[in-house]
Amino acid sequence: MKSRCDFCYHHCTLDEGQSGICSVRTLEQGRIVTKAYGHLAALAVDPVEKKPLYHFLPGSKTLSLAMPGCNLACDFCQNYTISQSSYHQHQAGEAIDTAALVSLAVERNCPSISFTYSEPLVWQDYMLEVASLAKSKGLSTIMVTNGTFSEEALERIFPLIDACNIDLKGDESFYRRRCNGSAKPVLDAIEYLVGKKAHVEVTTMVMESEHDEAHIRALAGQLAGRGVQVWHLSRYFPRYLATDPATSESYLQQMINTVSSFGIDYVYAGNSEQKQATFCPRCHAQVVSDRRHAPIRYDKTLKEGRCSACNQEIYGRWPS
């Protein structure tokens, strides 16, 4: 008997022994299970800014983890060795139970745990087990995702995740040509999560060969219309199967200037040497220091979420 997976928008229907598009979810003895459950492909302590999250507990560390797998096939994938099945299917990884992970986060003075590097949607059962225990111990939870949720997954995940960084890779044509995916579920997820008052930051990796000014302006309009307040425009570098030339600093700055009038208050350059401080959108006072340099310093009134110079609300979750 066939069974249908509801972990992502693909909604794969599987026969016994068959795996989904992600290669991670498989039907075994009438049940869809996640292969190598709890076997990690990556585990590290990172600055939270690396996710990237610039408006969520700045200056803190986060315990970052990943199981293998992804439900897209981007030819430019930056983490293809743990996301793409032709690479990760023979990696055993290390099995770690949830209690050990939460204890490790506490031991390493990490106020959060991040599900990142590969695509957490395809191993969301493990992610939610870890997240549930983490939150019971007072830790925050972070999901770095391509955003191709199913409606069922959104409803499961939203209560247990405190902050998301969601990739919006391009328009519908870009997703179909280069990702074997679709932009629609990503935009739908962003709209849902922003509407639920979740902490959302969006990342777009700008490819000079693909993302012209009209393309970036169209994405800006879609994000602004959904209430997104933090957008990371990140330089592309060739990886995996992609041979497009790396995006220049000057082109990235040009695209950032292009979207300055769309009402997205906080737009940052990623994978870049450009200044990455936060400024008040009303009076333009600096409220968080340049994130390229440690330690990161922030206006103490951000504990109340406001600019000390003009009392403007600054979007985010700030250290108490």
Which pLDDT score, from 0 to 100, does residue 62 have?
Answer: 98
HSE (side-chain half, CA atoms, 13 Å) at 83? 22
Please, is 94 exposed, middle or buried when counting C-beta atoms within 10 Å of its C-beta (0-12, 13-18, 19+)?
exposed
Q: Going by DSSP bridges, is the β-strand pair 25-28/31-34 parallel, antiparallel, or unpaired? A: antiparallel
Which pLDDT score, from 0 to 100, does residue 310 have?
Answer: 95
User: Residue type for 313, please?
Assistant: E
Query: 3-class DSSP state for residue 205?
Result: strand
Which pLDDT score, from 0 to 100, does residue 319 have?
Answer: 86
Reported pTM: 0.96
Which pLDDT score, from 0 to 100, does residue 134 have?
Answer: 98
Rounded distance between C-alpha atoms, residue 178 and residue 174, angstroms: 6
Rounded distance between C-alpha atoms, residue 304 and residue 285, angstroms: 16
Domain boundaries, the chain: 37-274, 279-320
Q: At what angle do helices 124-136 and 98-107 cross, to 10 degrees?
A: 50
Residue with tokens 């599900």: 115
For residues 60 and 48, is the Cβ–Cβ distance under 8 A?
Answer: yes
- Distance linking the first and last C-alpha atoms of the chain: 53
Rounded distance between C-alpha atoms, residue 57 and residue 157, angstroms: 20
Rounded distance between C-alpha atoms, residue 18 and residue 222, angstroms: 37
Rounded distance between C-alpha atoms, residue 80 and residue 70, angstroms: 9
Lookup: tokens for 145: 């995702």
Which pLDDT score, from 0 to 100, does residue 91 have?
Answer: 59
Within 137-275, residue ranges assigned H as helices are 151-157, 172-178, 184-195, 213-225, 249-258
| Architecture in CATH for domain 37-274 | Alpha-Beta Barrel (3.20)
Which pLDDT score, from 0 to 100, does residue 256 have?
Answer: 97
For residues 2 and 30, is the Cβ–Cβ distance under 8 A?
Answer: no
Q: Which residue positions in the chain have pLDDT lower than 50?
A: none
Q: What residues contact residue 100 under an 8 Å CB cut-off, 6+ apart? A: none
Rounded distance between C-alpha atoms, residue 25 and residue 5, angstroms: 8
